[in-house]
Structure 1
Amino acid sequence: MDNIAGTKSSLTWAVHISVALLVLLWVFPTVGLLVSSFRTADQISSSGWWKSMFPAEQTLQLRTAGTDEAVQADGVWVIEGNLYDVEGIDPLPISTWGVSSRDVAAFVPGDEAAPGDGETMVVQENGDYVYTSAEEPSGRGQRVFVTASVPPEFTLDNYEQVLFSGNTTDSMAKAFFNTLTVTIPATIIPILVAAFAAYALAWMDFPGRALLIAAIVALLVVPLQLALIPLLKLHTDIGIGKGYVGVWLAHTGFGMPLAIYLLRNYMVGLPRDIIENAKVDGATDFQIFTKIILPLSFPALASFAIFQFLWTWNDLLVAIVFLIDATGDTTVMTRQIVELLGTRGGNWEILATAAFVSIAVPLVVFFAMQRYLVRGLLAGSVK
């Protein structure tokens, strides 16, 4: 009975679980990147993004007031005040504190510590402290490590720094528009060329058509790295050099085999009767292509546009080879993120913000056109 048409397979549950796992594996990192882009550096280093809505324990290094504020009372020198007032930061409830970096949680508020011989110190939950010394203290104030509960904090400063940096060579906003300048033409040009070629391979009879189709299929498995240096040399010889034109042509050439293969398979599956009736009515191949084939092939065009847009948007290798970015005028976002990694090191809030900005546009494009993706990929697979 399992083979009867219309009955559900016993493995349906496994398929559903697999799809759910794939969705979760994709959603969790994306949500984490989004949340981290709104957090401060201290909160990112103290807790994971999944704890961003809850208070986090954070260890702060503070100091008491300077020794010039010490007063003598009852035979001892006393310094009183509030640790947060000394540092000029907002007070936070203290859960534990210590006077040594080796044990930052040695005491709880109200306990008495002995930082040195003849010295005592008491710290309260609100940051108030009393430091006493049998001898007149000298030097800087006593160092104190406090562990405080930090409330959730979100900020737009990361986006302001990434998108509107004062240094033009370090601006993600400029790289964003440079990436659009590369991606939009590099998506449109191969679609225009491949659509004509796919129609010819699908519906026009001419010598060598089968060999051309075989060559296109063979080009799908050729690594683009093999063509980088020869293609760059060709661009230099013909006067194109490095620039937007060169990177547009490179992306067009690298994306053309997939575009022709995908569109040709879709167009072959279109009803033959429509095309034959149009020819009987006197329509030319160009009229059939523009008035019949292109409107019916929109799902395939959209599916390739998604692939090409995502590839060119996330590309780094082709941009490095075919774009001059010594002055930063043509730096794309992937290259800018690499620069942030190299110059900012542990500034994870900046890196998270830059990374999310770089994936925001592909996410919008994918969700706006994803309904055409499956239709375009499955077209021609069944008759």
Structure 2
Amino acid sequence: MNATASLRRIGLPRLFLHLSVLLICLLWLIPTAGILVTSFREAGQITASGWWTALTGAAETSAARLADPSTAKQEGSNYVISGSVFEEGKSGTVRAFGTRVAAPTEYDAGEAADIGDGETLVVNADGTYTYTKNAPFGDGRGKRVYLSIAQPPTFTLDNYRTVLTSQGIGQSFVNSLTVAVPATIIPILIAAFAAYALSWMEFPGRALIIALVVGLIVVPLQMALIPLLSMYNEIGNLFGLPSRSYAGIWLAHSAFGMPLAIYLLRNYIAGLPREIIESARVDGASDFEIFVKIILPLSFPALASFSIFQFLWTWNDLLVAMVFLGTGKDQLVLTGALNALLGSMGGKWEILTASAFITIIVPIIVFFALQRYLVRGLLAGSVKGG
């Protein structure tokens, strides 16, 4: 009865909304959790089982060869070969075994396998075996058997050591930070000044500039990339600047991010109470003082919202980085280095997952640090504007 009353109080539409949000969060979280767990596993365990078995262990299929027929001993009317399927100094738990490569788990550990021709094989869980035949064994090598061996869950940091030291990801990580941090701060500083001017300062052509900013938001990056590169090269030749530099990519990202930044910040700043601005002007404050001491502190949610978008865009960018920064080993950003790893190490999932998690860890930290301001900053100013 209480459960029914609680359900009515919550309401079915609201309950459905909560369940839908929870499902979406799980769908986003599960792949990330899989990348994280896989990045700490060894190559053999990744091949043998999925990441969801990491805490319970995995079964690895391998092959072993029994002792030579010359070691057989006669016991009554039978001839017996015995020993262990594990090499000296190694151990494990055998779950199943087989005598054919097509059926490596045909028999359970401890089960007597009737091979035919009077031959019987028993492989125990500890790896010991008894191979029996009712006639002498022929000459040749020992019989090959296939084993399903239970491996205990093990985790390692070697994947990250390999990636950060020998694969060049460490330098690419620094390159991405060098690109993303200034390319996020520069457009925010410029756009904040422009947004204040378009919100609270009267001057001719203000409405036209606002319309132009809104129109520039929809300009595709690919359409403006080549003209922007040509312009940068001409200016670089004029002033003796290098054709590939961080300054170029900072300016490119700032140019592409500026329209959205001005639009978001202008909506927010225009929605601030007019009384605060007018009171400051009556007290003799200049526009610069109003901007620094009043507008910037009150606009932090909007600044944080755009910071998330701009940082994620610049951090995950590949095209602009390759055009303005280059493709040299010391110039590659993380996305470029990871793309190169996909070609050279397509089968080494432990290296790829460690590289991928290094790539996404910084955006995750930035998002969760600023996410509480995201919705507030985006929705502010949507009802009324200056």
Give the TM-score, by structure 2 length.
0.87
Tell me the distance in 2 between the aligned counterparts of 1:73 and 1:21.
63
Per the alignment, residue 4 of structure 1 pairs with none
1:273-316 CA deviation, whole Å, 9 max, x = no partner? 22122222222211211121111111111111111111111111
Cα RMSD over matched residues? 2.5
Per the alignment, residue 38 of structure 2 pairs with 36
Per the alignment, residue 269 of structure 1 pairs with 271
The gaps in structure 1 that reach 5 residues or longer are 1-6
Alpha-carbon distance, 1:361 to partner: 1.0
C-alpha contact 1:70 1:78 (8 A) present in aligned 2: no
1:42-65 CA deviation, whole Å, 9 max, x = no partner? 222333222222233332222234
Per the alignment, residue 237 of structure 1 pairs with 234
Three-state SS of the structure 1 residue aligned to 2:193 is: helix
Alpha-carbon distance, 1:18 to partner: 2.2
- Say if 2:154 is the partner of 1:153: yes
C-alpha contact 2:199 2:269 (8 A) present in aligned 1: yes
Count of residues in Structure 1 that have an aligned counterpart in Structure 2: 367
Deviates more, 1:210-219 or 1:286-295: 286-295
C-alpha contact 2:92 2:149 (8 A) present in aligned 1: no
**Amino acid aligned to 1:98:** G
Tell me the distance in 1 between the aligned counterparts of 2:249 and 2:162.
29
- Say if 2:332 is the partner of 1:331: yes
Alpha-carbon distance, 1:354 to partner: 1.2
C-alpha contact 2:73 2:81 (8 A) present in aligned 1: no
- Say if 2:373 is the partner of 1:372: yes
**Amino acid aligned to 2:192:** A
Tell me the distance in 1 between the aligned counterparts of 2:11 and 2:121.
72
Three-state SS of the structure 2 residue aligned to 1:163 is: helix
Alpha-carbon distance, 1:357 to partner: 1.2
Q: How does 1:166-245 map to 2 (within 5 A)?
A: 170-239=167-236, 240-245=242-247
C-alpha contact 1:77 1:137 (8 A) present in aligned 2: no
**Amino acid aligned to 2:107:** F
Q: How does 1:309-320 map to 2 (within 5 A)?
A: 309-320=311-322
Alpha-carbon distance, 1:131 to partner: 4.5
1:139-187 CA deviation, whole Å, 9 max, x = no partner? 5x4321111222222221111111222xxxx222111111111111111
1:180-239 CA deviation, whole Å, 9 max, x = no partner? 111111111111111111111111111111111111111111111111122122222222
**Amino acid aligned to 1:107:** Y
Three-state SS of the structure 2 residue aligned to 1:85 is: coil
Per the alignment, residue 289 of structure 1 pairs with 291
Tell me the distance in 2 between the aligned counterparts of 1:34 and 1:137.
51
Three-state SS of the structure 1 residue aligned to 2:62 is: strand
Residues 289 and 314 (structure 1), Cα distance of their counterparts in 2 relative to 1, 3 Å cut:
same
Per the alignment, residue 343 of structure 1 pairs with 344
* Percent of paired sites with the same residue: 56
Alpha-carbon distance, 1:38 to partner: 1.4
Alpha-carbon distance, 1:10 to partner: 6.2
Per the alignment, residue 250 of structure 1 pairs with 252
Tell me the distance in 2 between the aligned counterparts of 1:99 and 1:365.
54
Tell me the distance in 2 between the aligned counterparts of 1:324 and 1:194.
28
Per the alignment, residue 302 of structure 2 pairs with 300
The gaps in structure 2 that reach 5 residues or longer are 1-8, 237-241
Per the alignment, residue 128 of structure 2 pairs with 128
Deviates more, 1:269-278 or 1:38-47: 38-47
Give the TM-score, by structure 1 length.
0.88
